[in-house]
Amino acid sequence: MTRERVVLVTGGNRGIGRAIAERFVAEGFAVAVTARSGEGPEGTLTVRADVTDAASLDAAYTEVEQKLGPVEVVVANAGITKDTLLLRMTEDDFDSVVSTNLGGAFRVVKRAAKGMLRAKWGRVILISSVVGLYGSAGQINYSSSKSALVGFARSLTRELGSRGITANVVAPGFIETDMTAALPDETQADYKKSIPAGRFGAADEVAAAVVWLASDDAAYISGAVIPVDGGLGMGH
């Protein structure tokens, strides 16, 4: 890498997204993060955006382009959950999760694609979940939206793969976050029994996979699903 590549991470103000942004900064990339509230990590440009609103995203991209340059790496990380069993799930519970997790990826990547085509270089990295292919009771909306990202990345690979653009999926498993830390010890122990590695992952382990996929070393990898789940899912 002869100069700073420009990276945009959606939902980069907390959790896995924040760890991804921090890792890119540490590796010398120019990093922007979208957030509806709060700020990204030190060394990043924070722009306000709602991934369900194309006009909002367009304005965010324009700001990033003016301040950092064309976006060459996009990490679609922003996501929400509205967990409940199928028979209790409302239309809005389903539609809002799909619009954010899948629709958000569509809007973010579509806006970035023109610049990548002009540059004849680009990296699209979609943050999925082990749940997308493993399944999880009470998460039909979430697992459907995350599973669909695989088809998205593989179709995009077939569309743009000859233009120096790759599209891949990273599927985290149980990751150490504020949410997992709040679980009772007994519940945490039960979860860990199902993970061959016997532990939760660290957000930085997910970030390491993402940054590698954005590198020149991963130029011949596209349409792949990279699990970061301690062996929980297997068969991605």
Note the pLDDT of residue 3: 62
Is residue 233 domain-resident? no
Counting as low any pLDDT under 70, the low residues of the chain are: 1-3, 235-236
Is residue 128 domain-resident? yes
Q: Using DSSP, state whether 218 is helix, strand or coil.
A: helix
pTM for the full model?
0.95
Is residue 1 domain-resident? no
Note the pLDDT of residue 185: 87
Beta strands in 144-216 (DSSP E): 165-172
Is residue 205 domain-resident? yes
- What DSSP element (H or E) covers 76? strand 73-76
The residue from 61, 134, 142, 191 that is catalytic is 142
Contacts of 86 (CB under 8 A, 6+ apart): 140
Is residue 169 domain-resident? yes
Is residue 236 domain-resident? no
Is residue 40 domain-resident? yes
Is residue 201 domain-resident? yes
Q: How many domains does the chain have?
A: 1
Contact (CB, 8 A) for 16 and 22? no
Contact (CB, 8 A) for 116 and 163? yes
Please report how many Cα atoms fall inside a 13 Å half-sphere around the Cα of residue 28, on the Cβ side: 6
Q: What CA–CA distance (Å, rounded) separates 82 from 32? A: 27
Tokens of 116: 């990548």
- Is 220 among the residues known to form the active site? no
The domain in which residue 65 lies consists of 6-228
* Strand-pair partners of 124: 74, 167
Note the pLDDT of residue 91: 97
- What DSSP element (H or E) covers 148? helix 140-160
Q: Residues 199, 204, 210, CA angle at the centre, nearest 5°?
A: 115
The radius of gyration of the chain's CA atoms, rounded to the nearest angstrom, is 17
Torsion of CA 153, 155, 160, 162, to 10 degrees: 100
Q: What CA–CA distance (Å, rounded) separates 81 from 89? A: 12
* Amino acid, single-letter form, for residue 221: I
Q: What CA–CA distance (Å, rounded) separates 215 from 1? A: 8
Note the pLDDT of residue 2: 45
CA distances from 172 to 66, 166, 169, 183, 228 (A): 33, 19, 10, 18, 5
Q: Using DSSP, state whether 231 is helix, strand or coil.
A: coil
Write the CATH number for 147: 3.40.50.720
Closest CA to 192 of 143, 230, 224: 230
